[in-house]
Structure 1
Amino acid sequence: MVDLLLEWRPALAGEVDSDGGTPLHFASSDGDRAVVRAILRAGPPGMVYKKDYLGGLSALHVAARMGHRRVVEDMLEAYPDAAELRGGDGGTFMHAAAREKRSKVVSLAIGKTKLRGLLDAQDRDGNTPLHLAVAAGAPAVVEALLRKGKVRTDVLNNDGRPPLDLATGSTSFFTMVSLVVTLAAFRAKLRPHRQDHAKPWSGGDVGKWIDKMSDSLSVVAVLIATAAFAAGFNLPGGYGDNNGKANLSGSPVFKIFLVLDTVAVAASVTAVILLVYGKGSRSTGSWKSFAAALLCMWVALISLLLGYYMALSSVTNTRAVYRVGLIVIYVGVSVLQLCIENWVGPSSSSCTVWRFFLVHQLRRSKGRRAVKRQFPLAGASVLSFYAYQVITFVAFIIFGFFLEWKGKTGTSPAQAPSPL
């Protein structure tokens, strides 16, 4: 239909509404490539350069804002010089994409040599796409610009602020961590200022969140401790009638169960103590006890799950039980791990995180103290997250080793002594 209308009257493509929007603006906003191509092919020349009255945006800016990479590509193929178009705020389509967290459009510009000059371009306020991506809280865009685009991290905007300074405006804790880790990994620095005037990041009321979460986690930790404590007395296989000892005391699997149950009790009780201490102290370092308590709870939970499987293995020889237990534990822990990684893990790639530790932690780069003072929770939270991953990895190794050993030895559960 669009082709027929444009063939009948090509000037229709140049009509504007009360806001200055052309049909190309609307098609770009919707991401309709067929309509965009039809207008570019049959419409009046230079339609891409027309700007609306609201923000002085061209259709290219609109497509970039909406994240329609293919539409942006079509426009740039038809009008390569349109990449230099500036909007009402003095920004290019790259600025529009970075502000709206459109990583696909940003990656398009990074991948084309002719567009590399736009990566460090500044708008009317002196902001580069990196500035806007940091301000918008877009770690994926920031990492793409730094790792693939090789953009500069020392460009100052009109307020004299480099990109890392803008991370202080983030209200999400996990977004802040991802931004700081990514920027610091590529040697970004804060603007020079007196350190006694520096105020640590406190966006999103992290202290209140920790205080509230401590109440719920304390209940969970007590429940884990109760379950583990009860399992230590309600032993699999029961007790002997004469001496009161466990019937399965000679079984290697039973001994492993006792070790895991003891670890679960100790770790969960430690978590409760840390949570109570952190809530009672209300100091600036209470987040350390909170992070340690989370790790202890994870150790207790993993130990309890493995202990359950060991208890199951010690009282049955049925292979189906082993397989069901394997599926339940492996799938359950794996799904839980993926959820935790998605919720609280840094958005930065593993390569960037390791670079952060190498550049910012081990080599003690310049500006390290300033970044640590401004964002005291960033590095510690990443360390805690990777400690959690190590704990999970070790748990899987232990479980896999036990399964292999079980398959080779074919250990059967110890027989309870006959009461006769």
Structure 2
Amino acid sequence: MESQTKQRGYFVEFLRKSYLEPLGLKVPFRQNLLGFLDFSIWILWIHLSFGLSIEVQVLLLCQNKHSRDFYVIMEKQSSFRSPTMEKQQSFRGGVMEKQKSFRGLMEKQKSFRIAMERQISFGGERKRSKDSPGKRGDSPLHLAARAGNMGKVKEIFQKFENINNGIKDLLSNKNQEGETPLYVAAENGHASIVGEFLKHSDVDTASIAANNGFDPFHVAVKQGHIDVLKELLRFFPNLVMTTDSTNSTALHTAAAQGHIDVVNLLLDTDSNLAKIAKNNGKTVLHTAARMGHLEAVKSLLNKDPNIGSWTDRKGQTALHMAVKGQNVEIVRELIKPDPSVLGLEDNKGNTALHIAIKKGRTQIVQCLLTAEGIDVNATNSAGETPLDIAEKLETPEIAAILREVGAIHSKDHGKPHSAAKQLKQTVSDIKHDVQSQLQQSRQTGFRVRKIAKKVKKLHIEGLNNAINSATVVAVLIATVAFAAIFTVPGQYVEEKEEGASLGQAHIAKSAAFIIFFLFDSFALFISLAVVVVQTSVVVIEQKAKKQLMFVINKLMWSACLFISISFISLTYIVVGSQERWLAIYATVIGGTIMLTTIGSMCYCVIRHRLEDKRMRNIRKNSTLSRSFSMSMASDPEMYSERYKRMYAV
């Protein structure tokens, strides 16, 4: 990528220094590199090929968009028009004949340019038509209002001014989102368009709400368009008192958004707005304090300092709301008009100090403790002092601050608590402990289930590997058993003899060969049976897969035992009667190894079966499945019995 960039830079420098600068063209190629390349290549190619003048070159190359944009930049330079044209005079003498021959080409280029302009115009119209009813279902008046196009608005009004209620119907028309043209203009802050609409509207039209519940006045407040609000209030001052379904006024919206200019405008229009509460009892001061808008809080308190003591349905004041946030200055402003607000309690008996400690607001706690008249040992309905809450929530920094100002626990309080408060405190402590234990139990159960899921996955993978390995071993045993019958020692009968047939083994009548033949056949057909089962049966359930593995393993044990007997019996023929001790040695070694291995595996299988039976009895005797599952999660011995690292099937 770097090499390509360097090559492009060298090419640009070559064109600029070798060709364009001698013509007097000062090219701002750093501003429009793509246009510069197109522009330079076109000039170079046309000039060298046909010797056309700079005017013809420009006309031809401007069919390209990047070159056309670049030409606009170059045309602003004086060096492009005068010095360049003068230097071009030297080229004209030799190329006049070529220019005449290209007049036809000029006419074609002119028609091509017209076609291109029409195409661009068509593309623009098509783009505009895509916007017109569009996804929102906007009418032409909606589009004009959204774009702030006053000329288009007046043009539409002129078409409907002679129709009875025509303009009013246009202004009442909604798009798919329930927005009127007035709503669209107010939302986008086009005050002049709003004023024009209001000349033809009544208060009902101006109050039409969209699907989101906002009317033009409220949406202008939300967006903070002060000029639009002034226009609306100039025509219909009563809009300031409109409310939504939650009884929220426009002042609530302005305070929530922090638009201080809008807040001041609405308060100047009607100061009683500050006293209107929503359905939940919260005033505008509650909203501004909770959202942390200091200037809005100051403006509201300047209009009516008494609203600081107003409470909502939870019994909380604006100070209760402010301490939930992190703006210390708002807390100070709320305390200034009436410090007694510090002692006001909500429905649960919590003061602002209790709430601040519960939220962990250290700076606000310090601010409250510096105020005069603060009771650092006030108790709530649960009998908790601020220090009790700080220690219960494990906030040592706040607890240390409280101790420095003399805070104490409720049990050390001089005033004896009533029996009801003590009982409530006890219930609260028990509830807290139970919730903590339940949370720990849920976390432990989640971890146990996660571990069990991983162990189960490993268990299934182990079963699958064992089954696949059994298939491979079965194929190997079948191959060995099949080949062994055709490679017996002593060769075969090649000539017809009495008492023997052609192809018969010379040792066919010996007892050792008969034993070899029988057990080799058993090993062959048992292995083939395992292969048939493995290639025919598909098992999904884990329990069924274990049962299948149990059967296959026992068959494979038998096949291994039979192929071992076949080998030992064949050794008695191979070594002969003179070296019979070698065959006996092979019998002892092979028998010891095979019997010990199979015996150990049988012991493991029997032990696993007994343990599994014991687990089933425990589950059967358990009366509550939930208590059993909890004991399983908490008893590591039982858990380890259920999922062994290794067991025999």
The structure, 1 or 2, with the larger RCO (C-alpha pairs under 8 Å, 6+ apart) is 1
Q: TM-score, normalised by structure 1?
A: 0.46
